[in-house]
Each structure stands twice: as structure tokens, then as C-alpha cells.
A and B are shown apart, each in its own frame.
Chain A
């Protein structure tokens, strides 16, 4: 599971949970695999991210590079920044770990890189 996915996931569907975002991350095994850097694609992805959530998660897993806490206005032309974003977002796979609901502490397992977000009928 890449951080791009973590950035989009919520436990809001659980009964009694208001936002369920961001999910807490527990990392047990990380695998890094390089992938094509596409400058235009990364610049277009940035506005779709919750930047603060992304940076906190990237720091937690130790792959934040020089990512700033606040997004700089001219980011489209900052190739170094875009490369750091690419790396943290797409090249680091959380292979084993957990996602945890911030409100109920309900755990979602990440196994072999695949998060299990299924909830039972009685949890809805």
C-alpha cells in the first residue's frame, strides 16, 4: 500500500465515526521500488492530496526527503520537490502493517501490500 492510497482512505463508514481521517499508520515492513518519474503527473496529483496528512505520513515512515510542511506556491516548477513527492507517494510500499481508525482504534490489516478495509455488517 502506497502513501497515495493512505491519503484517500477513511474509516468513516464505521458506526459512530465522524471523519475517520487520517487513518493512523503502523508500519511493520516497507519495500521500496523505483518507478517512472513523470513531472506533469506529479504536479497534477498534488492538488488532489491532503498535503498535511501526506507529509506527516511520509515523515513517519522515514521517506519525507525535504518535503515542506506547507506546500510552496510554485511547486510545479520545483523538480526537487516533485521528485521527493514522487518517491514518498509512489515508490514506498507499506508491505505489512496496520491502518487504525483515529476515533475507535479499529484496526485494518495491511498484508502483502494490500489493505483490508472490509467491515462487517454489524460495524456499519
Chain B
């Protein structure tokens, strides 16, 4: 996958973070895993919290008309930026364009859960914070994860199995203090088996990309 383009000026004007180490680790992990991803023949892909939008834009440009990509972000500015990034990178085939559907919302709360999403990707706000910051509107929503950085992740996990299709997969970015072993244990309870797809030591933190699939698949 080519590294997607993004509009630095728009990100700055909208107060959305530039892609950083966590974003690029996720991009690398997805690139390495793209053949496995193609094997499950995905039709619906959803990224939660796309921020700059480069991850979903990269997938949309690789998978083209075989999938519909969705992106949902709690921050309206990130929604604008994500759509712009998707447009900057979208591939033109036969003079027609492929768009990412962008929504402003919180996790999966607005979705009907009918086991129809083949791939969910989540680079969550995983930074340890005092809880209150999580609920303050603004840019802290892009990183503030409450105690252990698990607040937002733990909100999502219980509903995942009702959202993801039988052969579907879930990619999650996490950091060592999120307690990776405990994430695997929790996800097992919710019907998923997981593995570490990629990890990278960056200044101050050890980042992971985890991949989960349903135990029944």
C-alpha cells in the first residue's frame, strides 16, 4: 500500500493530529496483512476514530470497488478531514470515484448490530488519563483513555461480536500499559481469539497492533 497523502494545512486548521507512530504502525500492520484480509473477501469495512483518515483512505484505494468503507469519528473536524483525505487518495477507475462514507458519532452506538461488518479497525484513545478528560469535548477525545487507557476500548468490546460478520476481523491499536494479556482474556469472553500482529517500541511507549477473529469462524 502506498502511504496516503493528507492535507497538513487542513489538519492544522481543524485541530486534528497529524498521523503519528501509532498510525504508521497500523498502516504497516495492515499492509503486511492485506493478503489475509483479501482472503476473507470483505465487503464492509469500518474504521472507528479515523482522525486524519489515512488508514481508511489507504484501504479504500487498495480494495476499490470490492468494498464499501465507512469511517465514524466523535470529532466533527476529524470527519471533515477524513473525507478530505479519502478524496485526496481515492482512485479513479473509468472516470468514477470511490468514496468513504463518513459519519459523526460515538463508537458503534448509531449502528444496527446485525453481524454485517467484515472488518473493524480501531486506533483508540489509549492514553492513561484521569477519567474526566474523556468526557471533555475537543481534541482530548482523540487520545484520552481514562485509567489504564482502557475506558473507550472497554466500551466497545462487548458489542463487537454483534457487529462483526462470522468471518470478520477486528484490528486494534494498543499500548503495553493497556494490559495486552487482559485484552486477549476479555476478548475471549466476548467470543474472539486474538494475536499480536505487530509491535514497535517508540519513545516512551511500546505500541501493538492486535488482530482478532471470531472463535466460531
Contacts and interface: CB of A to CB of B under 8 A. Distances in A.
A36 B94 contact: yes
A71 interface: no
A35 B80 CA distance: 21
A114 B110 contact: no
A25 B64 CA distance: 28
A34 to B, nearest CB: 5
A45 B64 contact: no
Contacts, number: 87
Interface string B83-109: 100000000011011110111111001
Nearest to B95: A34
Nearest to A86: B65
A44 B118 CA distance: 12
What is the interface residue range for chain B against chain A?
A: 20 to 34
A17 to B, nearest CB: 12
B44 interface: yes
B68 A114 contact: no
Given A21-B112, A37-B65, A117-B105, 11 more contacts: A8-B111, A10-B111, A12-B112, A13-B110, A36-B64, A40-B66, A45-B43, A114-B104, A117-B110, A118-B105, A119-B106
Interface of B: 41, 43-44, 64-68, 70, 72, 74, 76, 79-80, 83, 93-94, 96-99, 101-106, 109-112, 114, 116, 135
